[in-house]
Amino acid sequence: MSVQTIVTWAVVAAIFALTVKPLGTYIVRVFTFQPTILDKPLRPLENAVFRMFGVDRDSNMTAKQYGIAFVLSNLAWMILSYVFLRMQGILPFNPQHFGAINPQLAFNTATSFTTNTNWQAYSGENTMSYFSQFANLGFLQFVTPAAGGAVGIAFLRALSGRKLGNYFVDLTLMCTRLLLPLAIVVGLIMVGQGVPETLAPYLHIHTISGQTQVVPRGPIASWEAIEHLGNNGGGYTNANSANPLENPTPFTNVVQTVAMGLIPVAFFYAFGVMTGRKKVAWTLIGVAGTIFAVLLAMIYVPEHLGNPLINALGLNTHANMVGKELRFGIGGTSIFETATMSFTTGSVASAHDSFLPIPGLAFFTAMFLNLVFGGKGVGLINMMMFVIIAVFLMGLMVGRTPEFLGKKIETREVSLASIAFLLHPLLILVGTALAIALPVGLKGVYNPGPQGFSEILYGFSSAAANNGSAFGGLGAALPFYEVALGVTVLIGRYASLMAMLLLGESLLRKKTVPVTSGTMRTEGWLFGGILLGAIVVLNALTFFPVAALGPLANHYLLMAHHLF
């Protein structure tokens, strides 16, 4: 392991360690309406927004009302985005004169960005105008992560015994108090490192070989800031963060990696502050952090050791740098890809299709679990889903009614958590099966054998997890995948969140029971180990068969020196 790798990882870990408590505490202060440093400059703006839309800052909603407001606002954004994409050719800020987006791609893109997935079946620099990038999709990169964060805040309030609050107030505060200030800071850093921020037309460069090369540019720095802070992941260009226009230096690579995890990690600590159960929060952070470390090792070690086929020929004993950027190396690439999969961002600083099978399995594992800190608020909600299931299983083993945060876990809570858990694999497995069974699905597979199977599986896993990254080698621009993946991201985004929001309200309505000698502790190493075991076992039982057909089969065939 190189010194650069050690320093890069240490810096990323140190920043998370130093920011988790102050940022988590700040989140609680904002959403429990306590004084903060940004009150004076931002409150007049927020109050003006509330007056404009007739929103009372102190009002409260039920889970049903909150969920309906969440879904309907997202539906309005999706329809508006679709219309703008279909009208792209006649809208302003289009110096490249790009035409209207076709209906299937417009649907796929609008649903993808509205659900905070940002799956892209297009090349940004060759398809989208400046207006589409910054005014349409850029707008969605602010409000859609804010919407998910708002649901996470409502869930936290319910767990802490508070009323759920008002969705529109939480949505506004997520934008003004968290995303916008941080995006300004990260955007200025990106500009300082040479990332373009302009509305001028593309450059036409005459190369030394006498050819003409088109260099795309645009408002890229601001896009990169909210892309990563909002766990959006959609690249301004086709190469995403592997493109030096988006991610030019090892320093920007670290900044983007940190930006992805700042708010999701802090949400876990905010849970502890808001509920008064900081030990439980640290336990959950420990579980998610352990999985993150395992995923990082699964990605780094095989790539560092190199391709076994090439090593066996004595041609190369160095790291597998195929599809990787030399300016980041294996260490910088590994921490970025671990972060983007764990935080469900979906941006890429390398070609995922070029990784060896075990690192590919790590990508799948992060999307199957969908709780390794995850997106802001949403990752914590998914972790709580498994906490409820683990507590229920512990109760069965000792023969008593399970409890969590002083509330009894009964039929309704377990049913809602089970629905949220089962929906995720249902979308992935059914979608993959349909794509394999139908000729229109197989038409998009460009690689043979288990790699081709993995590419289909990856596409539906990415859509269901609202991740948005792609394995490559899949014809995602085909109408079948544009529609199928669009439907998958919609169900994957809203159905499970609604179930968990109802679960939170159900716990809110329950009376607190006193702690006794028989109460099961939900903190510390013992519960952390049980929770980790439940997560691993349940997901292994669900996804091991498809993993065996895809990345694991690919690994064993590679070790047997079998090529396709």
Q: How far apart are CA 66 and CA 555, in angstroms?
A: 46
Are 144 and 114 within 8 A, CB to CB?
Answer: yes
**Distances from the Cα of 416 to the Cα of 429, 463, 499, 505, angstroms:** 20, 22, 6, 11
- Same domain? 249 vs 397: no
Any domain includes 223: yes
Residue appearing with tokens 């226009």: 245
Question: Which residues, other chains included, contact 371 with Cβ-Cβ below 8 Å and sequence gap of 6+?
Answer: 288, 379, 382, 383, 385, 386, 535
CB atoms under 10 Å from CB of 517, counted, come to 4
Residue from 308, 328, 323 nearest 353 by CA: 323
Burial class (CB in 10 A: 0-12, 13-18, 19+), 192: exposed
- Same domain? 235 vs 349: no
**Phi, psi (degrees; rounded to nearest 5) at 477:** -85, 0
State which residues form the domain around 509: 342-559
pLDDT score of 150: 93
- Same domain? 267 vs 415: no
Any domain includes 317: no
Give the end of a domain, one of 255, 276, 297: 276
- Residue-wise over 67-96: b if at least 16 C-beta within 10 A, else e? bebbbebbeebbeebbebbbebeebeebee
Question: Which residues, other chains included, contact 202 with Cβ-Cβ below 8 Å and sequence gap of 6+?
Answer: 95, 96, 125, 214, 215, 216, 217
Q: How far apart are CA 482 and CA 494, in angstroms?
A: 19
Residue from 9, 10, 24 nearest 282 by CA: 24
Any domain includes 471: yes
- Same domain? 259 vs 361: no
- Same domain? 362 vs 267: no
- Per the structure, the count of domains in the chain is 2
DSSP character string of 453-514: HHHHHHHHHHHHTT-----SSB-TTSHHHHHHHHHHHHHHHHHHHHHHHHHHHHHHHSPPPP
- Same domain? 132 vs 249: yes
Burial class (CB in 10 A: 0-12, 13-18, 19+), 206: exposed
Q: H/E element holding 535?
A: helix 524-549
CB atoms under 10 Å from CB of 559, counted, come to 12
Q: How far apart are CA 465 and CA 140, in angstroms?
A: 18
Residue appearing with tokens 């650069």: 4
Any domain includes 519: yes
- Residue-wise over 526-555: b if at least 16 C-beta within 10 A, else e? ebbebbbebbeebbeebbeebbebbbbbbb
Average pLDDT over residues 487-504: 88
Tokens of 505: 């309200």
Q: Is 93 helix (H, G, I), strand (E, B) or coil?
A: coil
Confidence (pTM) = 0.92
Residue from 471, 439, 478 nearest 456 by CA: 471
Give the end of a domain, one of 221, 251, 276: 276
Q: H/E element holding 259?
A: helix 250-275
Of 24-28, 401-405, 410-414, the one with minimum mean pLDDT is: 401-405
Of 26-30, 466-470, 549-553, the one with minimum mean pLDDT is: 466-470
State the Cα angle at 31 between 26 and 35, rounded to 5°: 60
- Same domain? 349 vs 264: no
- pLDDT surpassing 80 at residue 238: yes
pLDDT band for 272, please (50, 70, 90 cuts): very high
- pLDDT surpassing 80 at residue 165: yes
- Same domain? 270 vs 347: no
- Same domain? 89 vs 213: yes
Give the end of a domain, one of 276, 301, 325: 276
Any domain includes 411: yes
Question: Which residues, other chains included, contact 288 with Cβ-Cβ below 8 Å and sequence gap of 6+?
Answer: 268, 342, 371, 372, 373, 379, 383
- Same domain? 229 vs 356: no
Gap between the terminal Cα atoms of the chain: 31
- pLDDT surpassing 90 at residue 473: no
Any domain includes 332: no
Any domain includes 129: yes
Average pLDDT over residues 25-43: 92
- pLDDT surpassing 70 at residue 344: yes
pLDDT digits (tens, 9 = 90+) for 274-332: 998 899 999 999 999 999 999 999 999 999 988 888 888 777 667 888 888 888 989 99
- Same domain? 266 vs 368: no
- Same domain? 470 vs 374: yes
Any domain includes 316: no
**Phi, psi (degrees; rounded to nearest 5) at 404:** -145, 125
pLDDT band for 518, please (50, 70, 90 cuts): low
Percent of the chain residues topping a pLDDT of 70: 98
pLDDT score of 300: 94
SS (H, E, C) 146-213: HHHHHHHHHHHHHHCCCCCCCHHHHHHHHHHHHHHHHHHHHHHHHHHCCCCECCCCCEEEECCCCCEE
Q: Which residues pair with 214 in a beta bridge?
A: 204
Q: Helix axis angle, 138-159 relative to 3-31, nearest 10°?
A: 70
